[in-house]
Amino acid sequence: MSDTAPADWDPRSPKVLDNQIQAYDEMRHRCPVAYSDYLLWSLFRHEDVMRALTDHETFSNGASRHLSIPNAMDPPEHTPYRRIVEKYFTQEHIDEFEPVCRANTEALFDDLPPEGDIEVMSALAQPFAVRNQCAFMGWPDSLREPLRQWIGKNHRATRAGDRQAMSKIALEFDGYISEQLILRREAGEEAPPDATTRLLHEKVEGRWLSDEEIVSIIRNWTVGELGTIAASVGILIHYLAAHPELQEALRQGHENLPEAIDEILRIHAPLISNRRITTRAVTIGGREIPAGERLSVIWASANRDEDVFGDPDEFQPQRNRDNNLLYGAGLHVCPGAPLARLELQVFMETLLAKVRHIELSPDTTPERAQFPASGFASLPVRVQRG
C-alpha cells in the first residue's frame, strides 16, 4: 500500500467540495493520476478511465468491503449474476413500466403550483426517484420517505468515512428489503408478480439466490437509482433554466431529447466516481501504482476531457455521443441504463409539456451537492405552468 505516498490533492477541501466539476477539471490538467489520503488513487483522464474499465484483469471491481452483487465482482464470478440482473431491464420490462412511470411523473407535476418558486430537489427530483423505484420494485408507498432519508444518511456517512455508521446504515436498508421478502414468501402464490418477487425465484449455478445475495442486488439497484436519478433531474432542470434557448428548442421538438439528456449529463455528471483495485503493479499516466491499491475512476472528469470532447461545456450531443461514459463502459456498463433513460425521458417530456417556462430563482442561489453526491443539494427555480 502507498503508506508513504505524498498527497497530490485533498478531495475534501472546501475548494473541491464547493465546485467538484471545476476542481476535477483542474486536476485533469495538473495531475491526471493523483493520490490522496481520502480517495487514494484517482484517474481523471478519459483515456486512463477507459483503460481501467476495459482491463478487468488489472483493475478489479472487487473493491467493496461488503457483498456487492454484481458491481464488486469480476469474471467468471460476475457473469452468472450479471445475466440475472440484465433480465430485469429488457425492453419488454421497460415498455411495461413506461405507463406507470408516466402516471407517477404527471401526478408530481399536477401537485406543483401554477407559477412561482419551487425547490426542485425536494419537490420533484427526490420524489420522482423514490416513487419510481418503489413502483418498479413493487414496494409500498410507505417506504418512500424512509428510502429518501436513507440515501441522505448514506451519503453523509460515506463522505465522513465513518465505517461504523456506514455498516449501521447498510443494516437499516437490509431490514427494509428483508421485510419485503418475508411478506412475499408469506403470500405464496398470492405474492405480486413484481421484480422483488421474481428475485426470490432466481437461481445462480443451480441453487436459489440467498436472501443476502438478493438484498445486495437490490441495494445496488436502489443506491444507484435513487441517488443518480434524483441528481440527474436536478442537473437537467438547472441546465434548462440556465439555457432558455435549448429549453424552447426541446419544447418545440427541434432537438433530439434522449441525446440532449445524455449530453447535459455528460457536461455535469450525476455520478462522481466508481472504485477499482489493482491486481498487479501498473504504470498509468506516468505513475507507478503497486498491486492491491484502491483507486477511483472519476466519471465527472473523464466525460469532460478536452482531448476527447473539445470544449467540455459545449453542447454537442451527436459529436460526443460515442465517447460519453454516462453509463460506463466495458463489462460493468450499467445494466439499468434502459430504465434510467426511460425515466429521464418521461420526466423531461412531462416537464416540457406541463411547464411553459422555467428559470433560476432570482432570490436564492443553488446549493451544490458534495461528494459522494453530485448535482445540487437544493435548487430553487421559478416556474410558469402551461
Residue-level pLDDT at 1: 47
| Per-residue burial over 162-199, b = 16 or more CB atoms within 10 Å of its CB, e = otherwise | eeeebeebbeebbebbeebbeebeeeeeebeeebbbbb
Residue 216 CA to residue 163 CA, distance in Å, equals: 18
Residue 262 CA to residue 302 CA, distance in Å, equals: 15
Q: Shortest CA distance to 39 belongs to which of 67, 72, 17?
A: 17
- Give the predicted TM-score (pTM) of the model: 0.94
Residue 380 CA to residue 361 CA, distance in Å, equals: 6
Do 144 and 134 touch, CB atoms closer than 8 A? Answer: yes
* Residue 132 grid coordinates: 419510481
Q: Shortest CA distance to 224 belongs to which of 181, 264, 270, 258?
A: 270
Q: How many CB atoms lie within 10 A of CB 61?
A: 22
Mention every residue, 6+ apart, whose C-beta is less than 8 A from residue 237: 120, 124, 125, 351, 358, 379, 381
- Any idea which residue has 508513504 for its cell? 4
* Residue 64 grid coordinates: 467493496
Taking CA atoms, 156 is separated from 17, 273, 317, 370, 372, in Å, by 13, 16, 33, 9, 8
Residue-level pLDDT at 150: 81
Residue 351 CA to residue 248 CA, distance in Å, equals: 12
Q: Shortest CA distance to 377 belongs to which of 363, 365, 385?
A: 365
Residue 264 CA to residue 255 CA, distance in Å, equals: 13
Determine the distance from the C-alpha atom of residue 280 to the mean position of all C-alpha atoms in its chain, rounded to a whole number: 29
Residue 52 CA to residue 58 CA, distance in Å, equals: 8
Backbone angles phi, psi at 55, to 5 degrees: -105, 75
Residue-level pLDDT at 159: 65
pLDDT tens over the chain, length 386 residues = 455 568 999 999 999 999 999 999 999 999 999 999 999 999 999 999 999 999 999 999 988 877 889 989 999 999 999 999 999 999 999 999 999 999 999 999 999 888 899 999 999 999 999 999 999 999 999 999 888 888 777 767 766 667 777 678 778 888 899 999 999 999 999 999 999 999 999 999 999 999 999 999 998 888 777 889 999 999 999 999 999 999 999 999 989 999 999 999 999 999 999 999 999 999 999 999 999 999 999 999 999 999 999 999 999 999 999 999 999 999 999 999 999 999 999 999 999 999 999 999 998 899 999 888 899 999 999 999 86
> Long-range contacts of range 311-319, CB-CB < 8 Å, 24 or more positions apart?
312/25, 312/267, 313/267, 315/243, 315/246, 315/260, 315/263, 315/264, 315/267, 316/263, 317/255, 317/256, 317/259, 317/260, 317/262, 317/263, 318/256, 318/259
Q: How many CB atoms lie within 10 A of CB 267?
A: 18
Residue-level pLDDT at 361: 93
Instruction: Identify the three-state secondary structure at position 304.
Output: coil
Residue 382 CA to residue 238 CA, distance in Å, equals: 11
Could you say which DSSP state residue 210 is in?
P
Domains and CATH numbers, the chain: 14-385 (1.10.630.10)
